[in-house]
Amino acid sequence: LKVSTGCHSYQEFVTKLPSGLVIASLENYSPASRIGVFVKAGCRYESLENQGVTHLLRLAANLTTKGASAFRICRGVEAVGGSLGVTSSRENMMYSVDCLRDHIDTVMEYLINVTTAPEFRPWEVSDLTPRVRVDKALAAQNPQVGVIEALHEAAYKNALSNSLFCPDYMVGHVNADHMHNFIENNFTSARMALVGLGVDHRVLKQVGEQFLNIRSGVGATGSKAQYRGGEVREHNGSSLVHSAVVSEGAAVGTDEAMAFSVLQHILGAGPHIKRGSNSTSKLTQGIAKATADPFDASAFNANYSDSGLFGIYTISQSAAAGDVINAAIGQVKAAAGGVSEADLTCAKTQLKAEYLMSLESSEGLLDAMGSQALAGGTYHTPEAVLQKIDSVSATSVANAAKKFVLGKKSMASSGNLIKTPFVDEI
Amino acid sequence: MMSLAARSGAFSPYLQATSYAVAGPLKALIPAVVVKGDKVLVDTKKPFLTRESLNGQSPKSGPAVSVSINAKAGVRFAHTDVKVPDFSDYRRPELLDPNKSSQESSESRKAFSYLVTGATAVVGVYTAKTVAAQFVSSMSASADVLAMSKIEVKLSEIPEGKNMTFKWRGKPLFIRHRSAKEIAAEEAVEMAEFRDPQHDKDRVTNPKWIIVIGVCTHLGYVPIANAGDYGGYYCPCHGSHYDASGRIRKGPAPLNLEVPYYEFPDEDTVVVG
Tell me whether residues B60 and A358 touch, CB distance under 8 A: no
**B23 occurs within a structural domain:** no
Given this model, what pLDDT does residue A137 score? 86
Q: Average pLDDT in the A327-354 region?
A: 93
- Best of B16, B60, B79 to mutate (most A CBs within 10 Å, chain A): B60
Q: Which of A298, A316, A299 is nearest to A242 (CA)?
A: A316
Given this model, what pLDDT does residue B168 score? 87
Residues B125 and B178 in one domain: no
The count of CB pairs under 8 A between chains A and B is 213
H/E stretch holding A387 reads helix A382-390
Phi, psi for A338 (deg, rounded to 5): 140, 145
Given this model, what pLDDT does residue A40 score? 93
The more confident residue out of A419 and B54 is A419
Name the β-bridge partners of A247: A310, A409
Give the alpha-carbon dihedral of B92, B98, B103, B104, to 10 degrees.
-60
Does A406 have pLDDT greater than 70?
yes
- HSE-CB of A279 using CA atoms within 13 angstroms: 2
Given this model, what pLDDT does residue B12 score? 36
Between CA A336 and CA A330 the distance in angstroms is 10
Please check whether residue B50 touches A, CB under 8 A.
Answer: yes
Between CA B78 and CA A134 the distance in angstroms is 8
CATH number where B113 lies: 1.20.5.270
**What's the mean per-residue pLDDT of chain A?**
91
Residues B205 and B112 in one domain: no
Tell me whether residues B1 and A275 touch, CB distance under 8 A: no
Of B140, B157, B188, the position where a domain reaches its end is B140
Of B103, B123, B140, the position where a domain reaches its end is B140
Which of A83, A145, A303 is nearest residue B14 as measured by Cβ atoms? A145
Residues B256 and B175 in one domain: yes
Which of B6, B43, B56 is nearest residue A296 as measured by Cβ atoms? B56
Which of A92, A134, A252 is nearest residue B40 as measured by Cβ atoms? A134
Which residue pairs, CB below 8 angstroms and at least 24 apart, start in A280-285? Answer: A280/A346, A280/A350, A282/A331, A282/A334, A282/A335, A282/A343, A283/A312, A283/A328, A283/A331, A285/A331
Q: The sheet that has A32-39: what strands, in order across it?
A: A12-16, A22-26, A192-197, A32-39, A93-100, A83-88, B65-71, B18-23
Between CA A45 and CA A158 the distance in angstroms is 9
Residues B203 and B116 in one domain: no
B238 catalytically annotated: yes
| Distances B43 to A27, A137, B39, B40, B150 between C-alpha atoms, Å | 44, 10, 13, 10, 91
Please check whether residue B26 touches A, CB under 8 A.
Answer: no
**B234 occurs within a structural domain:** yes
Tell me whether residues B42 and A354 touch, CB distance under 8 A: no
Q: Dump pLDDT digits (tens) for A54-68.
A: 999 999 998 999 999
Q: Average pLDDT in the A368-373 region?
A: 92
**B107 occurs within a structural domain:** yes
Of B123, B140, B157, the position where a domain reaches its end is B140
- The three-state secondary structure class of A301 is strand
CATH number where B171 lies: 2.102.10.10
**B66 occurs within a structural domain:** no
Please check whether residue B29 touches A, CB under 8 A.
Answer: no
ipTM value, please give it: 0.77
Residues of chain A with Cβ-Cβ distance to B17 below 8 Å are 135, 138-139, 142, 145, 164-165
Between CA B32 and CA A333 the distance in angstroms is 41
Which of B21, B42, B58 is nearest residue A296 as measured by Cβ atoms? B58
Which of B15, B60, B66 is nearest residue A299 as measured by Cβ atoms? B60
> Which parts of chain B sit beneath pLDDT 70?
1-48, 70-82
Q: Average pLDDT in the A107-112 region?
A: 92
User: What one-character DSSP code corresponds to residue B248?
Assistant: E
Residues B201 and B268 in one domain: yes
Given this model, what pLDDT does residue B5 score? 33
Q: Which of A303, A301, A311, A300 is nearest to A251 (CA)?
A: A303
- Whole-number percent of chain A with pLDDT over 90: 75
**B13 occurs within a structural domain:** no
Between CA B256 and CA B242 the distance in angstroms is 8
Which residues contact residue A398 at a Cβ distance below 8 angstroms, ignoring those fewer than 6 apart? A335, A336, A337, A338, A339
- Best of A138, A151, A256, A291 to mutate (most B CBs within 10 Å, chain B): A138
Residues B155 and B130 in one domain: no
Residues of chain A with Cβ-Cβ distance to B24 below 8 Å are 83
Q: The sheet that has B163-168: what strands, in order across it?
A: B163-168, B171-177, B209-213
Q: Dump pLDDT digits (tens) for A209-258.
A: 988 887 777 777 788 999 999 999 999 988 999 999 999 999 988 999 99
Out of B177, B218, B238, B241, pick the active-site residue.
B238
Which of B35, B59, B71 is nearest residue A300 as measured by Cβ atoms? B59
- The three-state secondary structure class of B272 is strand
Residues B104 and B167 in one domain: no
| Distances A284 to A107, A348, A422 between C-alpha atoms, Å | 46, 18, 22
Given this model, what pLDDT does residue B32 score? 52
Q: What is the DSSP string of A3-48?
A: ---S-----EEEEE-TTS-EEEEE----SEEEEEEEES--GGG--S
- The three-state secondary structure class of A195 is strand
Q: Dump pLDDT digits (tens) for A269-313.
A: 878 887 777 888 999 999 999 999 999 999 999 999 999 999 999
User: What one-character DSSP code corresponds to residue A168?
Assistant: G
Tell me whether residues A84 and B6 touch, CB distance under 8 A: no
Q: Residue B108 sits in which domain range?
A: 77-140
- Asked if A374 contacts A110 with a C-beta cutoff of 8 angstroms, the reply is no
Residue at B250: amino acid letter: K
Residues B158 and B106 in one domain: no
Residues of chain B with Cβ-Cβ distance to A87 below 8 Å are 1, 16, 64-67
Given this model, what pLDDT does residue B79 score? 52
Residues B267 and B155 in one domain: yes
**B130 occurs within a structural domain:** yes
Q: Average pLDDT in the A360-383 region?
A: 90
Residues of chain A with Cβ-Cβ distance to B63 below 8 Å are 89, 145, 148, 164
**B172 occurs within a structural domain:** yes
Between CA B11 and CA B3 the distance in angstroms is 17
Residues of chain B with Cβ-Cβ distance to A59 below 8 Å are 19, 67
CA diameter of chain B = 144
Task: Give counts: helices (H), strands (E), chain B.
Answer: 5, 14
Between CA A22 and CA A15 the distance in angstroms is 6
Between CA B248 and CA B252 the distance in angstroms is 9
**B128 occurs within a structural domain:** yes
Tell me whether residues B57 and A144 touch, CB distance under 8 A: yes
Residues 129-188 of chain B whose Cβ lies under 8 A from any Cβ of chain A? none
Between CA A249 and CA A184 the distance in angstroms is 32
Tell me whether residues B6 and A297 touch, CB distance under 8 A: no
- Domain total in chain B: 2
CB atoms within 10 A of CB A27: 20
Q: What is the DSSP string of B56-124?
A: T-S--S---EEEEEEES--GGGGGGGPPPPP-GGGS-GGG--TTS-SSTTHHHHHHHHHHHHHHHHHHH
Residues of chain A with Cβ-Cβ distance to B79 below 8 Å are none
| Distances B89 to A346, B2, B92, B116 between C-alpha atoms, Å | 74, 59, 9, 21
H/E stretch holding B269 reads strand B269-272
Please give the residue of chain B at the shortest CA–CA distance from A294: B51
* Length of chain A measured in residues: 426
Please check whether residue B3 touches A, CB under 8 A.
Answer: yes
Q: Which of A300, A309, A247 is nearest to A269 (CA)?
A: A300
As a three-state string, the secondary structure of A53-105 is: HHHHHHHHHHCCECCCCHHHHHHHHHHCCCEEEEEECCCCEEEEEEEEHHHHH
Residues B192 and B235 in one domain: yes
Residues B136 and B178 in one domain: no
Given this model, what pLDDT does residue B231 score? 83
User: What one-character DSSP code corresponds to residue B49?
Assistant: -
Tell me whether residues A264 and B50 touch, CB distance under 8 A: no
CB atoms within 10 A of CB A312: 26
Between CA B10 and CA B39 the distance in angstroms is 32
Please give the residue of chain B at the shortest CA–CA distance from A63: B21
| Distances A268 to A258, A280, A290, A389 between C-alpha atoms, Å | 15, 7, 17, 17
Residues B241 and B165 in one domain: yes
